[in-house]
Amino acid sequence: MSAVLPDIQTEADIRALVDSFYDRVNADPLLSPVFNDVAHVNWAAHLPRMYDFWSGLLLHTNRYRGQPFARHIPLPIGSGHFQQWLHLFCRTVDALFAGPIAQEAKLRAGSIAHVFEHRMRAVNNPLSIL
What predicted TM-score, i.e. pTM, was given to this entire model?
0.90
What's 53's domain CATH number? 1.10.490.10
Q: How many domains does the chain have?
A: 1
The verdict on residue 6 lying in a domain is no
> What range defines the domain where residue 106 resides?
11-64+73-129
Query: What is the rounded average pLDDT of the residues 24-32?
Result: 97
Write down the pLDDT at residue 126.
53
Q: What is the DSSP string of 66-130?
A: S-HHHHHTTS---HHHHHHHHHHHHHHHHHH--SHHHHHHHHHHHHHHHHHHHHHHHHH-GGGG-
Is the separation of the CB atoms in 31 and 81 below 8 Å? yes
Look at residue 4 and tell me if it is in a domain.
no
60 marked as binding residue: no
Give the model's pLDDT for residue 130. Answer: 47
Q: So what's the pLDDT on residue 107?
A: 98
125 class by beta-carbon count within 10 Å (0-12 exposed, 13-18 middle, 19+ buried): exposed
Chain segment 29-81, per-residue pLDDT in tens: 999 999 999 999 999 999 999 999 999 999 999 999 888 887 777 788 889 99
